[in-house]
Amino acid sequence: MKKLIYIIPVALYLLVSTGCKKDKDFLTEVPESFYTVDNAFSTSQQVDQVLVSIYSHIRDLWTNPSETGWIFNMRGNGTDLFDVASIRRGSTFNNYGSINADNGTFYEIYSTWYYVISRANLALHAAELPQIQWGSDAEKKYAVAQARFFRAFAYRNLGELFGGVPIVTKISTVPQFDFERPGRVETYQFAIDDLEAVENDLPETTTAGGRLVRAAAHHNLCELYLAMGIQLKADGKDAEATAALTKAISAASKVIDGGKYSLVKARYGSRRNEAAVSFPVYQGGVFNASAVVDTLLQPTNYYWDLFQEGNVNYQEGNTECIWATQIDYAAYRAGDSKSKLGYTRYYSADLRDGAKDHLTGTLEDVGGRGIVQIIPTMYVRDGIYADKWAADMRNSDAVFRRRFKGNVASSPYFKKDVPWDVMYNGGPDATTNTNNRSLCYPVSCKIATDKFTGIADGENRSNLFRDDYIIRLPETILLRAEAKQRNGDKAGAAADINLLRDRAQCSYKVTAADMDDAFNTILDERARELIYEEFRWNTLLRMGANIAVDRIRKYAFWPEAQATLTFQYNLWPIPQKVIETNKDVVIKQNPGWTNR
Amino acid sequence: MIKLFLRKLFVFRYCCLATVFFIAFTNVFGQEGSGPVEISGKVISANQNAVLIKGATVMVAGTSTGTTTNDKGEFILRNVPRSAILRISHTGYLTKEVQVTGKELVIVLEESPAALDEVVVIGYGTSNRKEFTGAVSSVRVEDAPIANLPNMNPLELLKGNVSGLNIGATNTAGGEPSMIIRGQNSISGNNNPLIVLDGVIYMGSLNDINPNDIASFDILKDAVSAAVYGSRSANGVIAITTKKGKSGKPVIELNASSAFQRWQNKPVMMKGEEWIKTVNDRNKFKEGSTDWMKPGELDNLSKGKETVWLDETTRTGIMQDFQVAVSGAGDNVNYYLSSSYNKNNGIVKGDDFDRISLLGKINTKITKWLEIGLDGGFSKRDYSGLPANIGAAQLMSPYGVMFRDSLGNLEKWPYTQSLMNPLWGVDDGTRYNKDLRNNFRLNSYLMVNVPFIEGLSYRLNYLINQDKNQSGNFNYETYFVAEGEGIARYSPTVVQGFLTSANGNIDNNATFSYVVDNILNYKNAFGKHSINATAVATRDLLRYQQENITGSDFALNGNTILGVRGLHKATTQRIDLNNSRRANIGYLGRINYIFGNKYFLSASYRRDGASVFGANTKWGDFGAVGLAWAVSNENFLKGNEYINNLKLKVSWGQNGNQGIEPYGTLSAVANGLSGGLRYEFSNTPGRIFYGLIQSALGNANLGWETTESWNAGFEAALLKSRLFIDLDVYTSKTTDQIFVREIPVMTGFKTIRASMGQVDNKGIELTLRSVNIQKRDFSWSSMLTFWQNRNKLVRLYGEDKDGDGKEDDDIANSLFIGKSLSAIYGYEQIGIVQESDTAYMRLTGAEPGSPMYKDLDNVAGISAADRKILGFGKENFRLNLGNTFTYRNFELYALVTGIFGGNGFYQKPNTAAYLTRTDRFNDNMSSKPYWTPENKSSVYPSAYYSADGRFLGLQSRGFVRIQDISLSYSFTQPWISNRHISSLRLFLSAKNVATFTKWEGGDPETGTTVRENTFPVPSIYSAGVSIRF
């Protein structure tokens, strides 16, 4: 009881000691364990960190490490190239009963590019802060150039997909509800101005693989002028269109004929001495030495070299890599869990389910551990290689693997190539066959390998650990071909296409007569060259007219697309949420999407 | 098994020990009594005539031994313990307790102004209920039947008992229910009422307070009651008073109960054959095909072996509750010591909780003018362990493979989907989880009755509360077993490869808070005037510090034998720190004035500062005034036979709410390792660069959410105090509400914390209590509570862009002028598209079997213009009825609660109740008659239809529930007192006995939709005993 007496002075002391602080000091908020925009920037290093966040963000959009549905859609699901497998039809992007301005995919894609724009604006804002000390003028110029490149890059993507979108050039400190929507041409022009302002501040080459170089700006300028030319022509401004297309050609030529870049036409890199790739056949799909009953040999080539680990960056001897997003296995192990290419997991075939009587397991012999998040349509796996188009390095066994030896002992094709007719039509009925066809398809060397990294560390043939192209020279060539054709130079266009076909040792070379007005030849060639690389929605919507809708109706894997795509469009809808949140100014919906 | 035994042994030993301790303790204080005695006496009224009172109830306190007085006001009680306390009660009189001092007693009862004699807590002091002008509800817990119920959390005691107070359902072991007073005041800010514990603001967790230690609750609902708490009062105040010693012989109390829990209406997923048919239908597979199943599944199919995963992941829950308390009071000292142990193994396997709590309270008058008091509390809560995944259990293939071998070892991947066995990691040693929460609290006060000025006193409160929480997780390499076929995946050499993935974390966090109140009080009466004035200066501070340590990749270390304690051996290690601080200052003045015991006035003014707001908006002012008129004290009603008490009251006041967390006004940045943005460049292999982004758009102008409200009501006791009515109506207007607003993403941000115009609330609260039957052997009393709250958005941003003369709605944020909050805005479904609806299909691209929406804008096709308000998430009203019956030594209490919808209220989307299709092609689902060309359902879409973002499947959540039942029996037989037991009571009780609702899926109150991964609200059946010595 008496002890309580002692508590009184102690309590009083505590009171006095805490009561000292002035009211104002007592209520002031000072964050202790995080930064705010007011104290985040004190060195030029931190300006670069904003750029790093954009590099990282763009890698997420390319490699989709979290298997996000809307990124699959952005990467081409629902176009003429890709659809969903029978077991994933809930994630279809081809059923127009549920594709409208409310669809979350549009809002997410629209938003993701504005995140890039706002971060680029933050970097530009931070670069000019008085307290930032730069090591050299060039260092600052390069930082600003990268930021403006990213901003232009985002506007190009938005312009191609959604048409004209509001131009934002400053960081936001207060919310704004009155964004005005300019035309598509103005949007492209803004991006062009950004790129032209900084093209000379970007270095021709860098030691750091993954950093932006000047050719990336030229490639984008080509695409932007091409896109602008298409839109101007659609608007009836033929003369301006021609001028734009001419600028597109000249921007591309700076890359193609500039001397820094050339198509790879000889073996190079880490595996140049391997004449063939060898896949063990694991009986029953079991991973151990005694289960290996056979091997499948496939002769390799220089096109295959382009997609091997350690061969992607320009710094590694790859003369067609203009810009690649960076994957680093050591960093992956050290905590950057997004530094991986999950392509084998989500792009590769599911032969173990689609052809289970003959093929099983998830090992190299069946193309790794594919879970068929999106699948190539019949057009892109077979259609573009029909008949005279078949002889093509890009259709060779090592590059576009069509040979799989049976590994199920009871199969008549045990240790023999399983014929595609058996995979496609071996089921008891048409429905089963269609489903199996959605699970069984050729496996590109861009999405799987014979040598998976990290097996000893517990990796399970889901991920590749190579860098991945964002811009590769052949796409620049294809853009120039399209610009030439649109400018009336079909022979020039054919010649450009043949640059790629020569390199791929194709037996058939295109002629001016092949360059049809629906751009089928260019789109087919893009599919052959750029499958799993191209952003097909951007291409189709950039081209305008009815190209997207016509091709989706023609090539979609499942019948819903044809049944439900009962209207015309050549731009995605402006997301309903964007229209509604921008409440002070009306943003007009794109054609085809009103009353849907 | 052995673990379980040891645990039980521990509980047993703990109880024995505690009992011995307390018995020894009481022997020091206790007085020896000898055998029981016979007592007789008479009961008279205190008024001038000293009338004899017939029919008064005379009870031995704490027991159900008792009798009633005869026509001459006399009574005789036999077998009464020598030192017993008698409790004498009669309607219209104040209940009185007297110590048995001799064998002949004369007991004088004071006339009561109808049971309104209680003391209520009003903030920085107490008041007599009859003198108070605000709306306060009080719930007595001590010795009330609700104390018999198996409640782990104090709030559960209040459920359904207080009009205007919504207490949610508890669905996890050791979980805390939600609480809201008088509807939603803040859209995104905190809606929790302020908790005041024994007179001081309490910033800890209610789970650290043992329900058995609570004597009573006072719920301060209106502005004038709560305004003294200024900035944190807008959501109301729940004041908790803990038990204290009672004068007389020290009391030792033992309470013990055991309960079991069941999952009522456990969802039933499809059985094997139906599931196969549905999977084929929803994927347009060939009828009867099974080739999409895994070999293990096909094997189970051929053997006819099905697994009901929900049965495998759940169990009969167990609850145990033991408490020992000792209390007593003398002339200068009052003490209460309590120790308790609670345990709950929830319905879901692995959902375990136990708690030890200790409470010691002592206060003493040192001199005539100085009093000091000290309460110390400790509680240790243990939530360790990982519960089974009942979400996965509802998705699993019925033919999924449970075991990988014949030894009963689990298969991690039961079927073709990347969905783990719901029991994986629960009890198989592949994961480890620890979650301990320690709480220490010390509440001390000093009170000085200034000797020279009569009625002037000073009180100093100092409360500190310290939480020290430790949690940790570890995923062993065995956890990461790969998908696929064959036992080889589990072989040590393969599993060893996953050492790179093995990872864990330790999280230590501590919250320290203090409250200091300086209270100056002056209380005096001058003739018919009586004054009670209070001045308060208060400060409080809450500081949070978190250290989270993670470690991953043990390949280079070689094994994970040390588990979570070996994080420092991991190749990749990381520390995250998170600190925050929140401070408040308040200055309060309050005056209560009474004239002639008929007219009552209270007025208060508080100025408050809070750290969480922007620099220019930190301070706010809050005033309140209340008036009451005791009509029944006027001459014209005095002695009225029918109206025994009537008090009218009206009040006005302003209350504040802190709608944001610390630093919520700032533009935060995410950067560095913890920022989550990483990248590499090829010239620096293995080096990770960190990105920097602005993660939130700050808003420096965010300030108080202010609520201004009116309350009017009356309290009445009628019909010889057999019927009591409390009625309150209120209106309130809240301005500058803080909410998360969707903004144009062109800013780089999708949302911002913003404040918004004005929301009005109005409501009615009614409590009816009646004594229906009061006989010697049998009594029946009832309590009915009803309350309804409506809110209306009055003003938003004050803009009229469309020029229609009315303020614009904010559709993007579902905010509509003139409508309630929580509006559900969307497409009105009018059945299902049939094959004959060709025009509709052509316009919309919909297929037969898809939901059909109403075309409202008369423009062909369904577009955003076809949306409307479909309903509201808010409830319509609540109605609860409690009945208490006593018959001889039995007491039965039953409470029925209901939350009602209607008029579009209390709706919620429940898409899975209608859909068959899911994201994965072969998930399980609940059975439903989906649309097919043969079965043209107009309710259920086809199995092939996948949700389109427009489909909502709205359902009403309205329900009626048999909430509580308690039956107790008190022993009064002679053997009781022969063993020095002053009371012995046995009870059976049940909670959540049955629910009547049209809502499908889980519990309607938690709004658990079909197939949602939310734990069920259990039904609890309990038996217990309470002994006092």
Alpha-carbon torsion B69, B70, B76, B78, what sign?
negative
The answer on B693 and B575 residing in a single domain is no
Q: Which residues of B touch A581 (CB under 8 A)?
A: 742-745, 812
pLDDT digits (tens, 9 = 90+) for A415-447: 999 999 999 998 888 888 998 999 999 999 999
In a domain, B229, yes or no: no
In a domain, B544, yes or no: yes
Query: Could A331 and B688 be called an inter-chain contact, meaning their C-beta atoms sit closer than 8 Å?
Result: yes
d(CA A82, CA A90) in angstroms, rounded, equals 15
Would the pLDDT of B774 be above 90? no
Q: Does A275 touch chain B (CB under 8 A)?
A: no
The answer on B935 and B832 residing in a single domain is yes
Query: Could B750 and A583 be called an inter-chain contact, meaning their C-beta atoms sit closer than 8 Å?
Result: no
Domain boundary among B109, B128, B157: B109
Q: Does B861 touch chain A (CB under 8 A)?
A: yes
- CB within 8 A of A338, min separation 6: which ones? A56, A59, A60, A63, A65, A66, B678
pLDDT value of residue B142: 81
In a domain, B573, yes or no: yes
The answer on B536 and B436 residing in a single domain is yes
Mean of the pLDDT values across residues B100-110? 74
Would the pLDDT of A17 be above 90? no
Q: Does B683 touch chain A (CB under 8 A)?
A: yes
Give the other-Cβ count within 10 Å of A440's Cβ: 30
Residue of A nearest to B697 (CA): A173
* CATH classification of the domain holding B85: 2.60.40.1120
Query: Could A595 and B861 be called an inter-chain contact, meaning their C-beta atoms sit closer than 8 Å?
Result: yes
Q: Which residues of B touch A166 (CB under 8 A)?
A: 744, 746
pLDDT value of residue B14: 47
The answer on B539 and B682 residing in a single domain is no
The answer on B672 and B606 residing in a single domain is no
Q: Does B798 touch chain A (CB under 8 A)?
A: no
Mean of the pLDDT values across residues A143-170? 97
Q: Does B911 touch chain A (CB under 8 A)?
A: no
The residue written with tokens 């296995």 in the block is A329
First-to-last alpha carbon distance for chain A, in angstroms, is 79
Query: Could A315 and B333 be called an inter-chain contact, meaning their C-beta atoms sit closer than 8 Å?
Result: no
Nearest CB to B697 within list A55, A172, A460 = A172
Mean of the pLDDT values across residues B398-410? 92
- CB within 8 A of A529, min separation 6: which ones? A394, A474, A475, A478, A500, A504
| Lowest mean per-residue pLDDT among A502-511, B67-76, B592-601, B891-900 | B67-76
DSSP state for residue B846 in the 8-state scheme: P
pLDDT digits (tens, 9 = 90+) for B198-252: 888 888 888 888 888 888 888 888 888 888 887 777 778 888 888 888 777 788 9
Measured between CA atoms, how close is A207 to chain B, in angstroms?
6
Measured between CA atoms, how close is A521 to chain B, in angstroms?
31
In a domain, B181, yes or no: no
A121 by DSSP, 3-state: which? Answer: helix
ipTM: 0.92
Q: Does B868 touch chain A (CB under 8 A)?
A: no
d(CA B479, CA B1029) in angstroms, rounded, equals 53
**Residue B527 backbone dihedrals phi, psi, to 5 degrees:** 60, -120
Mean of the pLDDT values across residues A492-510? 97
Measured between CA atoms, how close is B952 to chain A, in angstroms?
14
Would the pLDDT of A541 be above 60? yes
Domain count, chain B: 4
Q: Which residues of A touch B516 (CB under 8 A)?
A: 15, 18-19
Q: Which residues of A touch B847 (CB under 8 A)?
A: 97, 560, 563-564
Q: Does A549 touch chain B (CB under 8 A)?
A: no
pLDDT value of residue B4: 45
| Exposure class string for A160-182: b at 16+ Cβ within 10 A, else e | bbbbbbbbbeebbeebbbebebb
In a domain, B659, yes or no: no
Q: Does A171 touch chain B (CB under 8 A)?
A: yes
Mean of the pLDDT values across residues B268-279? 91
Count of pairs with CB atoms under 8 A, one residue in A, one in B = 355
- Token pair belonging to B138: 């009080």
Mean of the pLDDT values across residues B143-171? 80
- CB within 8 A of A566, min separation 6: which ones? A96, B842, B845
Give the other-Cβ count within 10 Å of A514's Cβ: 17
pLDDT digits (tens, 9 = 90+) for A98-149: 898 989 999 999 999 999 999 999 999 999 999 999 999 999 999 999 999 9
| Spatial contact of A247 and A225, defined as CB atoms under 8 Å apart | yes
pLDDT value of residue B33: 46
Nearest CB to A56 within list B615, B677, B919 = B677
CA distances from A542 to A194, A230, A488, B178, B527 (A): 20, 8, 18, 52, 91
**Residue A257 backbone dihedrals phi, psi, to 5 degrees:** -105, 15
Residue B70's domain comprises 31-109
Q: Does A25 touch chain B (CB under 8 A)?
A: no
Label each residue of B277-332 as H, E or C: HHHHHHCCCCCCCCCCCCHHHHHHHHHCCCCCHHHHHECCEEEEEEEEEEEEECCC
Mean of the pLDDT values across residues B649-670? 85
Q: Which residues of A touch B571 (CB under 8 A)?
A: 333-334
Residue of A nearest to B462 (CA): A11
pLDDT band at B28 (very low <50, low <70, confident <90, very high): very low
Q: Does A372 touch chain B (CB under 8 A)?
A: no
- CB within 8 A of B754, min separation 6: which ones? A175, B699, B702, B738, B739, B740, B741, B743
pLDDT digits (tens, 9 = 90+) for A297-328: 999 999 999 999 999 999 999 999 999 999 99
Alpha helix segments (H runs only) across B464-551: 492-496
pLDDT band at B192 (very low <50, low <70, confident <90, very high): confident
Q: Which residues of A touch B466 (CB under 8 A)?
A: none
d(CA A436, CA A87) in angstroms, rounded, equals 10
Nearest CB to A8 within list B446, B689, B742 = B446
Would the pLDDT of A465 be above 90? yes
pLDDT band at B736 (very low <50, low <70, confident <90, very high): confident
Query: Could A89 and B946 be called an inter-chain contact, meaning their C-beta atoms sit closer than 8 Å?
Result: yes
Q: Which of A98, A283, A375 to mutate to test the interface with B (most CBs of B within 10 A)?
A: A98
In a domain, B763, yes or no: no
CA angle B898, B901, B903 (to 5 degrees): 150
pLDDT band at B16 (very low <50, low <70, confident <90, very high): very low
The answer on B537 and B464 residing in a single domain is yes
The answer on B834 and B932 residing in a single domain is yes
Nearest CB to B692 within list A40, A90, A287 = A40
DSSP state for residue B905 in the 8-state scheme: B
**Helix, strand, coil abundance in chain A, percent, nearest 5:** 50, 5, 45
Long-range contacts of the stretch A138-143 (C-beta < 8 A, 24+): A138/A201, A139/A44, A140/A44, A141/A198, A141/A201, A142/A201, A142/A202, A142/A203, A143/A44, A143/A47, A143/A48, A143/A51
Instruction: Return the top range by mean pLDDT from A153-162, B156-165, B633-642, B786-795.
Output: A153-162
CA angle B217, B218, B223 (to 5 degrees): 150
Q: Which residues of A touch B747 (CB under 8 A)?
A: 114, 118, 168, 172, 175-176
Going by DSSP bridges, is the β-strand pair B104-109/B37-45 parallel, antiparallel, or unpaired? parallel
Q: Does A331 touch chain B (CB under 8 A)?
A: yes
Q: Which helix (H) or strand (E) holds A477?
A: helix A473-486
The answer on B680 and B549 residing in a single domain is no
pLDDT digits (tens, 9 = 90+) for B37-96: 788 888 877 655 566 777 788 877 766 677 878 877 888 887 777 767 787 877 667 677
Largest CA distance in chain A: 108
- Token pair belonging to B557: 């270390």
The residue written with tokens 């709410």 in the block is B657
DSSP state for residue A514 in the 8-state scheme: G
pLDDT digits (tens, 9 = 90+) for B685-698: 989 999 999 998 98
- Note which residues in 221-240 of chain A have CB less than 8 A from chain B: none
Q: Does B487 touch chain A (CB under 8 A)?
A: no
In a domain, B81, yes or no: yes
Q: Which residues of B touch A57 (CB under 8 A)?
A: 677, 691
B483 by DSSP, 3-state: which? Answer: coil
Would the pLDDT of A504 be above 90? yes
In a domain, B637, yes or no: no
Domain boundary among B699, B717, B747: B699
The answer on B565 and B449 residing in a single domain is yes
Measured between CA atoms, how close is B821 to chain A, in angstroms?
18
Going by DSSP bridges, is the β-strand pair B599-610/B572-595 parallel, antiparallel, or unpaired? antiparallel
d(CA B130, CA B142) in angstroms, rounded, equals 22
| Spatial contact of B727 and B786, defined as CB atoms under 8 Å apart | no
Nearest CB to B946 within list A90, A331, A576 = A90
Q: Which helix (H) or strand (E) holds B13?
A: helix B2-29
Nearest CB to A209 within list B609, B671, B681 = B681
Residue-averaged pLDDT of chain B: 85
The answer on B604 and B672 residing in a single domain is no
Looking at the whole model, is its pTM more than 0.80? no
Query: Could A56 and B516 be called an inter-chain contact, meaning their C-beta atoms sit closer than 8 Å?
Result: no
Domain boundary among B611, B626, B645: B611
The answer on B518 and B439 residing in a single domain is yes
